[in-house]
Structure 1
Amino acid sequence: MNNNHDTSVTVIGLGLMGQALAGAFLKAGHSTTVWNRTTAKADRLVAEGARLAPSVGDALTASPLTVICLTDYQAVHELLGATDVALDGTTLVNLTSGSSAQAREAARWAEQRGARYLDGAIMAVPPAIGTAEAVILHSGPQADFAAHESTLGALGTVTHLGADHGLASLYDVAGLAMMWSILNAWLQGTAMLATAGVDAATYAQFARQIAVGVAEWLPGYAEQIDKGSFPAEVSALETDARAMAHLVEESEAVGVNAELPKLIRAMADRAIAAGHGGEQYPVLIEEFRTPRNG
């Protein structure tokens, strides 16, 4: 592992997130080179000690490690694919948002040009960068991550997920699925309770307790999924389905949108029809594994 805090780093792309990344490297004492198509976005960073590279090629050769944060993968390919840009010998850490397929393709593309490549995902807002609350996910060769882990640690809590370059993107969207599902469930309950005069702040305290309690179930449920065995230790899916029907009926009775609970009830009904009614809730993984049109 490289523990030299003087290790130089380049940041390409100075949107709000890119500026936060470069600022965190500077604050940690790293010699930092930056490049952005609109050079004015580098002014504050230059005033803080960063060096503005005159070209992308110069930015890449200025440091052994280059962190890229652009709008999309197409922009990455267009920028780094120019004929006057040499990637040979550099390590690229691409923190641009995209799909797992794009990450794997970008890794092949970069490696064919002689670069080492790590893909990543930022699980934080720009103001959190540089603090432990900022979680930065990385995927790709372990050795390449280990060589720069101490430098990348300036950005927050850095994690290596595995050699598959697509893992960071998959974890990113899986995290979004978790976030939106929790928030949507809370909004459903908030809308229902509002019809009885309960405000969101009051319900939020109760909802938080429920969310924490459900989170405690995950390791045990994960064990069932990994084993492919779903004994009804707590309740059977057919029992849960009756509670889902109650949620749909109550939502409709108080005049609240019932689309979300109806969707989950439909998935449970399909699983029950397939013979899984006597098994525990995680058996619904088969429904999530089955793509459906419409």
Structure 2
Amino acid sequence: MSSPSPQPAVTVLGLGPMGRSLAAAFLAAGVRTTVWNRTPGRDRELVERGAVSAPTPEEAVAASELVVVCVVNYDASDAILRREAVVDALKGRTLVNLTADTPDRARDTAAWADRHGIAYLDGAIMTPTTTIGTPDAVFIYSGPAELHRSHGSVLEALGGTHTHLGEDIGRAAAYDVALLGIFWTAMAGYAHALALAKAEGITARELAPFAQGIGAILPPIFEATAGHVDDGSFSGEDNPLTSSASSMAHIIAASEAHGIDAAVMRAAEGQARRAIGLGYGNDGFTRVTAILGPR
């Protein structure tokens, strides 16, 4: 008679909103979960649900073969992980870093982990806390594929989709910053739109359904123009840069007539005008991607 498989275990370092959501999802899936947070008290609800609270990060690390860290940035994760006692505890274990930062910081952390005998997988969470533990969660990872496979069953307790993007340890962070660039520039544009609408007597609730319509046309545009960027065609057949720049100028004029800061739109118009000045006026807006590097 074979002995039962041991209960899977994980340690979660960092109990901000996302860290708490990760730990809660592990617990809900029946994973033995040890938690630690720099600020005491944030683990109370998790402990009531069955988590083990560790008094120090090194004791938390020692409790599990798999350690997940999720804090505000790599300065914060370094402050936890690079303490001598924690380094000693991490040796021979697997560290999955779901902290958001830059690709170079991910590569630096991977090199540090390798020097200290720590198996390292970098990752990013592409959806908000409310999705964790549900089918809507999206996780991406980069680093050793075998490491991702060996811990996949535990990580999948977090719900949603889990995609390994390749061996380059900085690849997940590269996807993260690129995709969040879309999100935050879109949110900046939406904030500007609401300010302009308000100045014209239009409430945010009145504008919102039409804003959603604008958002809905973007996915097919993303898909179509990705090919233009990859093959260098930058087609402007449907909407050339000269037309785009004219539209942006109208937005700037309307905004500044109300005293509204149009810096975000001025930046976009400036990129379009620069491309036009280089002779690309008949190309599509994605031509801008080819001129965004150093002048």
Pair in the same fold by TM > 0.5: yes
- Alpha carbons 1:9, 1:32 under 8 Å: kept: yes
Mapping of residues 44-193 of structure 1, within 5 Å:
44-84=45-85, 85-157=88-160, 158-193=162-197
- Deviation string 1:197-252 (CA, Å, 9 cap, x unpaired) is 22111111112111211321111100010001223321221222222222223333
1:216-227 alignment runs, 5 A limit: 216-227=220-231
The aligned residue for residue 20 of structure 2 is: 19
- Where does 1:20-35 land on structure 2 (aligned, <5 Å)? 20-35=21-36
Deviation by residue 1:128-179 (Cα, 9 ceiling, x = unmatched): 3212233222221121111111211122322222222222222222222211
Amino acid at match of 2:90: L
The verdict on how the C-alpha distance between 1:183 and 1:51 changes in structure 2, with shifts beyond 3 A counting, is closer
1:282 aligns with 2:283: no
CA contact 1:5–1:150 (8 Å) conserved in 2: no
2:266 aligned residue: 262
Letter in 2 for 1:275: G
Contact 1:89/1:116 (CA < 8 Å) preserved in 2?
A: yes
Structure 1 regions of 5+ residues with no counterpart? none
C-alpha distance in 2 between matches for 1:214 and 1:12: 37
Q: CA deviation at 1:5?
A: 9.1
Moved more, 111-120 or 80-89: 80-89
Q: 1:8 to 1:197 in 2, by over 3 A?
A: same
Tell me how large the CA RMSD over aligned residues is.
Answer: 2.3
CA distance in 1, matches of 2:260, 2:187: 16
Runs (4 or more) in structure 1 with deviation over 4 Å come to none
CA contact (8 A) 1:35 1:53 kept: yes
SS of the aligned residue for 1:133 comes to coil
Which amino acid letter does the alignment assign opposite residue 29 of structure 2? A
- Where do residues 192-207 of structure 1 align in structure 2 (5 Å cutoff)? 192-207=196-211
1:39 Cα offset (Å): 4.8
Letter in 1 for 2:240: A
Instruction: Give the letter for the 2:232 counterpart.
Output: G
For 2:263 and 2:24, the matched residues in 1 are separated by: 44
The answer to whether the 8 A contact 1:5-1:151 is kept is no
Q: Which region of structure 1 is more displaced relative to structure 2, 223-232 or 36-45?
A: 36-45
- Per-residue deviation at 1:105? 0.5
Write the deviation string for residues 252-278 of structure 1: whole angstroms up to 9, x where unpaired.
345433322222221111111111112
Seq. identity, %: 41
**What is the one-letter code of the residue matched to 1:13?**
G
Corresponding position of 2:277: 273
CA distance in 2, matches of 1:287, 1:142: 35
Report SS of the residue matched to 2:100.
Answer: coil
SS in 2 for 1:49: coil
- Alignment-mate amino acid for residue 154 of structure 1: A
Q: Distance in 1 between matches of 2:175 and 2:214?
A: 24
**Unaligned stretches of 5+ residues in structure 2:** none
Q: CA distance change for structure 1 residues 253 and 57 in 2, over 3 Å: closer, same or farther? A: closer
1:117 Cα shift?
A: 0.6
SS of structure 2 residue aligned to 1:275: coil
Counterpart amino acid of 1:72? N
Match of 1:237 in 2: 241
Q: In the comparison of the two structures, how many residue pairs are matched?
A: 288
Shift of 1:185: 2.2
Q: Give the secondary-structure state (helix, strand or coil) at the position aligned to 1:276.
A: coil
